[in-house]
Amino acid sequence: MSTFKKIIIYVVIATTLSITGYMTYVYYVPYSKGTRSGELIKISNKGYVVKTWEGEISQGISGAQIFKFSVLDNDQEVIDSLQSLQGNFVKVEYVERLRTFFWWGDSRYFITKAEKEDSPYFNNGK
């Protein structure tokens, strides 16, 4: 095997390992974790070629403060939960990633759990 072919093979292997390592780091090492709450105003499956789940939570009375998030396709339980809670006050747990890729979603915030919460603005019959 010639030296030129060996160099090409090493470059391809190094590039493949670098890309794989970077994507693994972005996926498995969260930038932050936390919870947010507000009124769930949107959950939709959007995109032309690659469909991703995107949503919005209003965190203010006038809707001036919007928390935009994504949900990974393999989190079907979270997607179903968010769809059933549409229009309600919710509390969500999320993971913020260093960055996102187009096949994951538009936001760096990924919801891992969603549950209904009592609204601080309304008495809810209590």
Q: Give residue 15's pLDDT.
A: 96
pLDDT-flagged residues of the chain (< 70): 61-63, 122-126
Contacts of residue 8, Cβ cutoff 8 Å, sequence gap at least 6:
none
Specify the pLDDT at position 62: 65
Q: What is the pLDDT of residues 104-115, one digit of tens each?
A: 889 999 999 999
Question: So what's the pLDDT on residue 122?
Answer: 67
Q: How far apart are the first and last CA of the chain?
A: 79
